Amino acid sequence: MVIAERKAKPELPDASEARSRSRVDWGALAPVVFFGFLIVAFGALEPAVFLSGENLASILNNGAVLAMLACGLTVVLAVGEFDLSIAATASFAGALAAVLVTQMGIGVAVVVPLVVLVGLIIGLVNGVLVTRYQMPALIATIGVSSLLDGLTLWITDNSVIFSGFTKVFLTLGDWRIGTIQAPVFYLLVLGTVLIVTLRYTATGRHIYATGGNRAASRMSGIRVDRQIITAFVIAAVLGSLAGLIYTARQGSLTPLFGASMLLPTFAAAFLGSVTLARRHFHVVGTIIGVYLIETGTTGLLILGAPAYTQQLFAGAVLIFATIGARYRRRGST
């Protein structure tokens, strides 16, 4: 008689995966914990100023335009590319809107669609350069950024525009509910649309698939070039809208205002990629990243830090977020 030995049953994959999913991913929660720490720390050091309703509303309002830019950049990063022209797109769109309104007397009903159309064209140019002409995205978007900066200085004659804005145009960026200004509500709508698009539509799934593995995406029938162009168009349109809204909110235009937003935009997007989700860029994480940076810089300014604190803080966030992303990626393999 042959007696079969009883072997220990291997652990079922489903059970193993379920247990791994049940573990708390502290790496993904670290930025949220740090965000909470900043609020507690600054609130303890300057409770009368930092925790005031006026200051908290100011943080929310001031971060909204930057969050729009960062959300647009998030889509390009999700598809596996870079867009260094998004800040210049905002500057050019804001300048174009200001010139059309103050110098040519064109109404808002024409200016807004025109600005969106300009963003669409810029996105198409970026996308075509990267896909059809096989240019590295860094080179293509740096070139486009330089062209846009030159056009901005040309149409504004390199001068600040501070008068001639119509009341209707200013209302675009200045209407409010209580102490919460218009850009926050625009961000809420645009952010919701992006979240739904990226999470629940075929376009979003194809964008993430393209960013994850282009060869496999092509083999599965996904039109990779179309996804890349779509991502650049979304980013440029959001950049154009952000520039328009920023100009309307400020009530004036300083040429190349977007240049100071580029570093915080990238820092927020990369910080968002290691927040709440593993190894991919997503809108919710990006918005958290924006307001973490805004909270940190505002708190430091209240404590007496110099005006260039935002650049220092955003640079540090970008470095540590990139290191964190690589560390977590290695830990998951």
Q: Which three-class secondary structure string do you get for the chain?
A: CCCCCCCCCCCCHHHHHHHHHHCCCHHHHHHHHHHHHHHHHHHHHCHHHHCCHHHHHHHHHHHHHHHHHHHHHHHHHHCCCCCCCHHHHHHHHHHHHHHHHHCCCCCHHHHHHHHHHHHHHHHHHHHHHHHCCCCCHHHHHHHHHHHHHHHHHHHHCCCCECCCCCHHHHHHHHCEECCEEHHHHHHHHHHHHHHHHHHHCHHHHHHHHHHHCHHHHHHCCCCHHHHHHHHHHHHHHHHHHHHHHHHHHHCCECCCHHHHHHHHHHHHHHHHHCCCCCCCCCHHHHHHHHHHHHHHHHHHHHCCCCCCHHHHHHHHHHHHHHHHHHHHHHHCC
d(CA 59, CA 300): 13
Residue with tokens 């300083």: 254
Q: Where do the structural domains in the chain lie, given as residue ranges?
A: 27-326
Distance CA 291, CA 59 (A): 7
pLDDT, average across residues 274-279: 73
Class of 27-326 in CATH: mainly alpha
Answer with the residue of higher pLDDT: 34 or 328: 34
Average pLDDT, the chain: 90
Token pair of 118, please?
């300009």
β partners of residue 181: 176
CB 132 within 8 A of CB 229: no
The model's pTM: 0.90
Share of the chain above pLDDT 70, in %: 88
- What is the structure's pLDDT at 11? 42
Separation of alpha carbons 85 and 250, rounded Å: 22
Token duo for residue 239: 């950049």
Quick check: 76 pLDDT over 60? yes
pLDDT in tens, 122-177: 999 999 999 999 999 999 999 999 999 999 999 999 999 999 999 999 999 999 99
Given a contact cutoff of 8 angstroms between Cβ atoms, the answer to whether 103 and 319 are in contact is no
Q: At what angle do helices 53-78 and 182-200 cross, to 10 degrees?
A: 30
Question: pLDDT at position 12, please?
Answer: 40
211-233: burial string, b at 16+ Cβ within 10 Å, e else:
beebeebeeeebebbebbbbbbb
Distance between CA atoms of residues 228 and 230, nearest Å: 5
Residue 196 near residue 182, CB atoms below 8 Å? no
> pLDDT at position 161, please?
96
Q: Judge whether residue 84 has pLDDT over 70.
A: yes
Per-residue confidence (pLDDT) for residue 27, from 0 to 100: 65
- Of residues 199, 206, 324, 330, the one with CA closest to residue 270: 324
| Window from 29-38, 139-148, 153-162, 306-315 with minimum mean pLDDT | 306-315
- In the structure, what pLDDT confidence band is assigned to residue 4 with cuts at 50, 70 and 90? very low
**Residue 24 scores a pLDDT above 60:** no
